Amino acid sequence: QKEVEQNSGPLSVPEGAIASLNCTYSDRVSQSFFWYRQYSGKSPELIMSIYSNGDKEDGRFTAQLNKASQYVSLLIRDSQPSDSATYLCAVRKTSGSRLTFGEGTQLTVNP
């Protein structure tokens, strides 16, 4: 079992729709969770971090964490073509430890 698993994708949504990206992790002791966006040929860019159960909203982005289900998701409201990228879920077990990345989900927002 992979430590961090994401939807295999690719995911395609029309402009203005809600894009939903999912991620599960295997280690229950994981404490910190991150979503990164990576455009083709570029390095990852941090979008959201979440540390406690529930929702965290930042503009059009909402991260949701459910530690009991070992599940973290990212919702993108009012999707724009500029949101088209690969989204990487990353998990950190304890303070100071390394990030473990999922394989990423490629999102395409169609005009």
Query: Which residues here bind other proteins, judged by CB under 8 A?
Result: 32, 34, 36, 41-46, 49, 88, 95-96, 98-99, 101-104
Q: How far is the CB of 17 from other proteins (least distance, A)?
A: 25
Residue 66 or 97: which CB sits closer to other proteins? 97
CB neighbour burial string for 72-103, b if at least 16 within 10 angstroms, e if fewer: bbbbbeebeeebbbbbbbbbbbeeeeebbbbe
d(CA 92, CA 49): 11
Q: How far is the CB of 102 from other proteins (least distance, A)?
A: 7
Q: How far is the CB of 39 from other proteins (least distance, A)?
A: 11
